[in-house]
Amino acid sequence: MQALVQTLIYGVETGAIYALIALGYTMVYGVLRLINFAHGDVYMIGAFVGFFACTQWLPFKDLSQHPEAAMLNVVLALVTLLLSMLICALLGITIERFAYRPLRNGFRNADAHFWGFVIALPVTAFAGAMTTTKRQGVFLFAGVVIGFIMRPVMAYLAKRIKPSGSRLNALITAIGVSLMLENGGINIFGADPKFIPDILPKRQFNLFGLVFDSSGLIILAIAAILMALLRYIVLYTRPGKAMRAISHDIDAAKLMGINTDRVISFTFALGASLAGAAGFMVAAFTNIKVVPLFGLQPGLKAFVAAVLGGAGNIPGATLGGLIMGVVESLVASKFPQWRDAVAFILLIVILLVRPAGLLGKNTAEKV
Amino acid sequence: MLVIQDLHVYYGAIRALDGISIEVKEGEIVTMIGANGAGKSTTMRTLSGLVRPRSGAVMFEGKALHLLPAHEIVALGISQSPEGRRVFANMSVRENLELGGYVHYKKKAQIAEDMDRAFTLFPRLKEREAQLAGTLSGGEQQMLAIGRALMSRPRLLLLDEPSLGLAPFLVQTIFQIIRDINKTGVTILLVEQNANQALRVAHRGYVLETGRVVLADTAANLLSNDEVRQAYLGE
Ligand SMILES: Nc1ncnc2c1ncn2[C@@H]1O[C@H](COP(=O)(O)OP(=O)(O)OP(=O)(O)O)[C@@H](O)[C@H]1O
Ligand SMILES: [Mg+2]
């Protein structure tokens, strides 16, 4: 009995993480009907930001030598949390701006500027790397100049690039962005596992004969706070209402004067920041190592959680995440080898039994 | 006020508008009538920036609407109650109206005032203020769509089939309301299946056929035009 409750508690903790990630999937699906497969990789970036902040950027103290510095570390951990969220939000906005928006609206002059540099800089950097000269700055400078020259060329080409309403194109783009982040991560961070040392004092509480771990409680508390904040934003603020309007009917939302591009950007920022928070917390408060493929499994499982709760449905994503975590930890306690299969069995079952998801409804519109 | 010049609109390879030119002067009620698929809704959607023309222009007080994103068009003072109502079903009546005033979000007092006005115009909405829009009856949804479009204080109001699905006595009410709105200084472009009623409230009318304007005249002349009577008034 006790072991069962313990397993459940562990499941809820894992589930809270899945829920945080699933919220991003479901919100983006809501506004764009797009499965943003790069979302799991945003979670990975959140973990890396956490790793660098904890080991290099911020003056965390080693608690085994300076036990009195606990308070400082708590403050720094909060800063790191916010930093992960912020950087991931910016990443989310960038992904939307340069990968999905041109697909939706066609290629604009502002895109031409960006892609001019994206093409010019790596080429000159590569040329610089091939030569033996010490004056690499010349190549960087040349890259910038060529980037500027590329602009009119790209702008000319831009007129030929038409928006694509195709779902398949968007999906392929999402997978492309995901691969880019994963392999870019391997290239930049290296494939070796990174580990965040204990930044907060670890305690265990015994209550009613159950053992509560301080790290698990921190994850739960922060996840709960973030979800409450999200709920407030979505239900009561102007961009939140605009988001709901877009999810329901994007053309009607435009007729209200809603700047849909800006709200979609906001949606990506919101979802990505939750994933960033989750990434940092898992990296810092569990014993999972940080690698560039860190987001692959949790990303897929959170995606299943979003479908389970009803794609596009925000409370559904939370529920789906929690169910996912609990079921997984129940199964794993008896049949550990089945742990990673649980998600896909759940996916198949839900698609067969209730494709709209637990809380999703197939509402009929009055005509 | 509004000038549509030689508008060509395509959905992929399908041609919906084949060179339409329409003018709406300040203070007028202008109606577009035509059979199903003639391109009336497409014209409205193009005016609001939901579809982009392949060629041609839409000028509103000297500004090129066809180059602007939809939300800027609303900010200029053009709003639309679209065909099929398109209310936000999972939000309350009040929230729907609030979204109608989205561009004026900073003017709290104005929004409250406009909401009161919408409730006076449609007392039924007042009773159902907190109800989800999706659970309203079809006619109530239509009132909500019109009320919502008024919340942005448009100078040009686009109404796409506002009487669709309404009981006959409500149709009368809606057309009376259209007159009243117009009297407050709002210019109206009206699309209607109910050509008879539309031509009675409108000052001028355009008859559309497969993406072209085939007739343009004052509403009174169109009402007494034999072809129009046969084709659209069922006589
Ligand atoms: N999204 C779309 N994709 C492809 N074709 C479309 C689309 N919307 C409209 N059309 C086509 O464009 C033409 C004009 O349609 P539109 O909706 O403007 O007609 P309408 O005059 O409003 O008709 P109704 O009186 O039935 O509302 C029709 O032939 C229609 O089939
Ligand atoms: Mg129509």
- Other CB atoms within a 10 A radius of the CB of residue B162 amount to 26
User: Does the pLDDT at position B48 exceed 50?
Assistant: yes
Atom of ligand 1 nearest to the CA of B191: 22
Whether the CB of B164 sits within 6 Å of ligand 1: no
Q: Do B90 and A244 touch (CB under 8 A)?
A: yes
pLDDT mean over B151-157: 97
Distance from CA of B25 to the nearest CA of A (A): 22
Please, which residues have CB within 8 angstroms of residue B177's CB and are 6 or more apart in sequence? B121, B146
Dihedral sign for Cα B221, B225, B228, B234, please. Answer: positive
Query: Is A95 in contact with A177 (CB distance < 8 Å)?
Result: yes
Note the pLDDT of residue A362: 56
Q: Do B88 and A245 touch (CB under 8 A)?
A: yes
Identify all chain A residues contacting B78, using CB atoms and an 8 Å cutoff. none
CA A102 to ligand 1 center in whole angstroms: 26
**Strand ranges, E, within chain A:** 204-207, 210-213
CA B59 to ligand 2 center in whole angstroms: 22
**With an 8 Å Cβ cutoff, is A183 touching chain B?**
no
> Which residues make beta-bridge pairs with B158?
B80, B189
pLDDT mean over A291-315: 94
* Spacing of C-alpha A20 from chain mean position: 9
Give the whole-angstrom CA distance, residue A279 versus residue A273: 10
Give the chain A residue whose CA is nearest to the CA of B145: A252
User: Does the pLDDT at position A229 exceed 50?
Assistant: yes
Q: What is the mean pLDDT of chain A?
A: 90
Q: Which residue has the higher pLDDT, A104 or B26?
A: B26
Name residue A79's amino acid: V
User: Does the pLDDT at position B113 exceed 50?
Assistant: yes
Note the pLDDT of residue A85: 98
Distance from CA of A155 to the nearest CA of B (A): 17
Q: What is the mean pLDDT of chain B?
A: 94
B-proximal residues of A, 241-260, CB under 8 Å: 241-242, 244-245, 248-249, 251-260
Q: Do A255 and B48 touch (CB under 8 A)?
A: yes
Minimal-distance CA residue to ligand 1 atom 3: B11
Residues in chain B, overall count: 235
CA B37 to ligand 2 center in whole angstroms: 7
pLDDT mean over B109-115: 95
B-proximal residues of A, 261-320, CB under 8 Å: 261
**Protein residues with C-beta less than 5 angstroms from the ion ligand 2:** B 40-41, 83
**ipTM of predicted complex:** 0.95
Q: Domain ranges for chain A, please list them.
A: 2-104+166-353, 107-161
Quick one: pLDDT band at residue B141, thresholds 50, 70, 90? very high
pLDDT mean over A325-346: 92
Note the pLDDT of residue B19: 95
- Determine which helix (DSSP H) or strand (DSSP E) holds A319, and give its type and residue range: helix A314-334
Name which of A248, A251, A366 is nearest B90 (Cβ-Cβ). Answer: A248
Note the pLDDT of residue A161: 74
A-proximal residues of B, 51-80, CB under 8 Å: 69-71, 74-75, 79-80
Name residue A354's amino acid: R
Note the pLDDT of residue B235: 65
pLDDT tens, residue by residue, B50-80: 999 999 999 999 999 999 999 999 999 999 9
Note the pLDDT of residue A154: 82
Note the pLDDT of residue A364: 42
Whether the CB of B46 sits within 6 Å of ligand 1: no
- Of the candidates A243, A282, A238, the one whose C-alpha atom is nearest the C-alpha of residue A260 is A243
* Spacing of C-alpha A184 from chain mean position: 16
User: Does the pLDDT at position A49 exceed 50?
Assistant: yes
Whether the CB of B42 sits within 6 Å of ligand 1: yes
Identify all chain A residues contacting B91, using CB atoms and an 8 Å cutoff. 241, 244-245, 248
pLDDT mean over A57-65: 88
Name which of B84, B87, B102 is nearest A257 (Cβ-Cβ). Answer: B102
Note the pLDDT of residue A363: 46
- Of the candidates B143, B221, B162, B171, the one whose C-alpha atom is nearest the C-alpha of residue B41 is B162
pLDDT mean over B140-153: 95
Q: What is the pTM of this model?
A: 0.92
DSSP structure class, residue A33: -
What CATH number does the domain located at B1-77+157-235 have? 3.40.50.300
pLDDT tens, residue by residue, A137-163: 888 888 888 888 888 888 888 777 777
Note the pLDDT of residue A65: 86
Whether the CB of B16 sits within 6 Å of ligand 1: yes
pLDDT mean over B182-187: 96
Whether the CB of B34 sits within 6 Å of ligand 1: yes
B226 CB-contact burial (10 Å; exposed 0-12 / middle 13-18 / buried 19+): exposed
Note the pLDDT of residue A366: 39
Atom of ligand 1 nearest to the CA of B34: 21
Q: Where in chain B is the domain with CATH 3.40.50.300?
A: 1-77+157-235
Please, which residues have CB within 8 angstroms of residue B60's CB and are 6 or more apart in sequence? B1, B2, B3, B73, B76, B78, B156
Q: Specify the CATH architecture of the domain A2-104+166-353.
A: Orthogonal Bundle (1.10)
Dihedral sign for Cα A147, A151, A152, A154, please. Answer: positive
